[in-house]
Structure 1
């Protein structure tokens, strides 16, 4: 018998409350403390838990997009193709910072179906246009 499992991506943050509120607002969700762990907040959307934010007083933002560094991991937020620009504006209004990434020395085309950003604590995320994702 396979044990039932669930997973959640957890981001470290020296100040988890504002970061959790950023993602809850961006994803249309809510923030709740994790049972039994006072340093972990869970961001839930109408479809379930989507992200954890954990207090780590020593957390330092990733250095991506420097060419010598890897982004290690990132969130991919999926939106309908016709909602990409609006979703990017919403994220930036909430405190996200757009990332001017380059590939092979060539600046990425703004008409791309992917917009690269960092959250207020410096974690990488992208907003990606995906056909079939319902528009709101």
Structure 2
């Protein structure tokens, strides 16, 4: 029987850079093993730890193009969508879709992290 989800791992070209982005976004800390530079984790926030793995020839997803699909995305609960968007953008995120502006009543927005992985900020 599986006890728990240990981590969610994302492929990328620069695991340290991506870990730093998510550590800043989530208030976590980067955990890196100098003996294993291909793998970096972020711990110290509520939820499942995130891990970042160097992938040679990494190509980011192209939102919403299915030729290079997202494969997965992360959703984060927030209290203040505008404030958290500002913080995410300052850390290096880019807006992919202002869902709340094109879908009346939508309570989420879609972004890309610095490696191109989509994630959503959602008002719970």
Give the match for residue 76 of structure 1: 75
Distance 1:8 1:110, change over 3 A: farther
TM-score, normalisation: structure 2: 0.83
**Displaced runs of 4 or more, over 6 A:** none
Q: 1:92 & 1:20 partners in 2: Cα distance?
A: 16
Distance 1:3 1:22, change over 3 A: closer
C-alpha root-mean-square deviation of aligned residues, in Å?
Answer: 2.6
For structure 2, list consecutive stretches of 5 or more residues without a partner in the other structure. Answer: none
Q: 1:99 aligns with which of 93, 96, 113?
A: 96
Q: 2:102 aligns with which of 102, 108, 128?
A: 108
Q: 2:35 & 2:4 partners in 1: Cα distance?
A: 18
Q: 2:2 & 2:106 partners in 1: Cα distance?
A: 41
Q: Which moved more, 1:6-15 or 1:83-92?
A: 6-15
For structure 1, list consecutive stretches of 5 or more residues without a partner in the other structure. Answer: 131-136
Contact 1:13–1:56 under 8 Å retained in 2:
yes
Contact 1:43–1:49 under 8 Å retained in 2:
no
Matched residue SS, 1:60: coil
Residues 51-109 of structure 1: per-residue CA shift (max 9 Å, x gap): 101111211101122377643210101112xx11101110011110001378xxxx724
Residue-pair matches, total: 123
TM-score, normalisation: structure 1: 0.76
